[in-house]
Structure 1
């Protein structure tokens, strides 16, 4: 149940939403292929930095990416809502709770990961300090109460690193799971309207593409491989979005004019 929680948070749940299983499967396949391509690139070519720096850099990029997604998505959704006729504006505005909830959950999970990472490094609670206090409490000059506190501190110094490490792994796992499902659903903007994932996905991925150009490559791969990897995501997302919008129009009669009641 706990493992399925990220999927529940990041999956569109509007009762009257039209869910096309073909679109959902293709979105999931696109995301999985993108992740596999990233893993392949890291496994085949040597990294330019250490593994810890690589992981921390990816977490930082994830946070920057979420900020870009929030900014670009907010602009796109605002334009969409303002372009709709007044009765629909209120309906769409009320449905914004879904994407905002996903962003809030991801922010909490990333915050927990960062907090536990700092704890593992000893930046929040120094284990050396706990150990020194424990050994001080064992001196003959201390009373029984101080001795009990020292024993408790000693146990804490032993258990806390393990607990922090496990919590850090759990936070990383849930962050990746929630982000994976959120990318499939374009952060649940489909709860606002079915056309929005197809309209916003190209805007989001191309924004991330231009930001990634300013960052150095993580692996020492040939330029042709790097640029093919960088362009593969935006181009595939754009092509799938065009097909998705066309399928919604031909199979379900949805288009931008009807969505805006124009």
Structure 2
């Protein structure tokens, strides 16, 4: 079902979908106002970027060092959300200063506010999940554990699916500029990974293995972002430093062909029976006698084989059966 432009969920969310957290997350974290990707190749690059970004956000090195710890996983997610809350507006603000030199910023107000609302929605969801986990772990009431635990499981699926969605569209910033999601993913992955490397907090890993796990994800995200922005520049003329209003129009979808009538090709006139009578020439003379003999001039004598007067008119050269008035050969 096609989404309705201008609405957040696009009319795809129903009351039955409330029980399915992944459906709610798809509608909430990938709104209808986010523009679709330009080609399938960019979609593939975004999927790879999402995987590499998840490595940087979750911190796979903690799994290898200390085993899987849900509490530490949630702490890393909460820390990443706080980083996003400050770094994303700061990075976008720097780009607005760059774009201001070649265009106005008034037309970018609506997509910027929508992206900010999506960012706040995601951060609020992560905070709510952390609070639910702490409530379940800190209470001994069975009813509270059951009720809050079911809500926590729903929120866990909702946040997990939402993380996948916002990692792909990066809070809908593609509605502001097509290259902005790749830039934000690169900046965020480096800011999440570099502090551990600078402080030497390798979580029990050796230096070499810690560098590989800490820097592997941001390096991968950066390489994919460069490929993505390079493809946008070469194929569509979209540059990161150029104002979005100055971009050339992107190719739209090819309109469907009109239905073919039963008589044949839609642009060929219907053909008649191949063995039927020939059709008249539309540019020929009107139907009638193909030849009309020339009409003689009044008073002209009739000459056999040629035009002339009436062969039955009286007088010489007239009717051979008319009265004969011979004239003497010699005059008086």
Q: If the length of structure 1 is used for normalisation, what is the TM-score? A: 0.72
Deviation of residue 164 (structure 1)?
A: 1.6
Q: Assess, with a 3 A threshold, how the Cα gap between structure 1 residues 18 and 91 changes in structure 2: closer, same or farther.
A: farther
Q: Assess, with a 3 A threshold, how the Cα gap between structure 1 residues 169 and 95 changes in structure 2: closer, same or farther.
A: same
Instruction: Verify: 1:69 aligned to 2:84, yes or no.
Output: yes
Question: Which structure 2 segments of 5+ residues have no match?
Answer: 1-16, 248-332
Deviation of residue 260 (structure 1)?
A: 6.7
SS at match of 1:76: helix
List per-residue Cα deviations over 1:65-123 (Å, max 9, x = no partner): 12212222211211222333486401222211332232222233223223322331345
* Correspondences of 1:203-242 after superposition (within 5 Å): 203-213=187-197, 214=199, 216-218=201-203, 220-242=204-226
* Correspondences of 1:80-95 after superposition (within 5 Å): 80-85=95-100, 88-95=104-111
List per-residue Cα deviations over 1:3-60 (Å, max 9, x = no partner): 22222333364366653322122221333366579797566x4517xx5xx3222222
Q: Assess, with a 3 A threshold, how the Cα gap between structure 1 residues 118 and 69 changes in structure 2: closer, same or farther.
A: closer
Q: Does structure 1 conserve the Cα–Cα contact (< 8 Å) formed by 2:126 and 2:159?
A: yes
Q: Assess, with a 3 A threshold, how the Cα gap between structure 1 residues 197 and 257 changes in structure 2: closer, same or farther.
A: same
After TM superposition, the structure 1 stretch with the greater mean CA deviation from structure 2, 245-254 or 106-115, is 106-115
The whole-number CA distance in structure 1 between the counterparts of 2:122 and 2:200 is: 23
The whole-number CA distance in structure 1 between the counterparts of 2:187 and 2:55 is: 23
> Which residue does 2:44 correspond to in 1?
25
Q: If the length of structure 2 is used for normalisation, what is the TM-score? A: 0.58
* Correspondences of 1:158-177 after superposition (within 5 Å): 158-177=142-161
SS at match of 2:33: coil
Deviation of residue 239 (structure 1)?
A: 0.8
SS at match of 2:105: helix
Count the aligned residue pairs: 224
The whole-number CA distance in structure 2 between the counterparts of 1:109 and 1:257 is: 34
Which protein shows a greater Rg? 2
The whole-number CA distance in structure 1 between the counterparts of 2:190 and 2:244 is: 24
Question: Which structure 1 segments of 5+ residues have no match?
Answer: 128-157
Deviation of residue 211 (structure 1)?
A: 2.5
